[in-house]
Amino acid sequence: MDVTLFEKIINREIPAEILYEDDLSIVIRDIAPQAPTHLLIIPKKPIEMISKASDDDQMILGHLLLTAKSMASKLDLKDTFRLVINNGAKAGQSVFHLHIHLLSGRSMSWPPG
């Protein structure tokens, strides 16, 4: 796997607005927001996409969801946010390093797409 944009952000090779970081993950603002609040929760371990995660990734995948919950609480989003994981180019994934979109601040329609 080539070095991704997110790995470059994690390694501080390119700038980003970092809102949170720990040993396993980093949270940044999306540079092309699709909602007033649009964060990306990114594992530091490069996992190409959710369909390529292994059983060994169980802990980090759970950590990402709990980090999303923590960020929503920190931003006082209460129960007004959506989490999105795109898996593959046809599903809208453009950076092939697993990440969760946290979106809030506007009405969300269903079905998405």
User: In degrees rounded to 5, what are phi and psi of residue 106?
Assistant: -150, 165
The dihedral built from the CA positions of residue 65, 71, 4 and 59, taken in this order, carries a sign that is negative
Catalytically annotated residue among 38, 97, 99, 101: 99
Q: Which residues of 3-25 are buried (b: 16+ CB within 10 A; e: fewer)?
A: ebbbbebbeeeeebeeeeeeeeb
Residue 47 tokens, joined = 């996992």
Active site residue 99: yes
E strands present in the chain:
18-21, 25-29, 37-43, 81-84, 100-104
Active-site residue list? 99
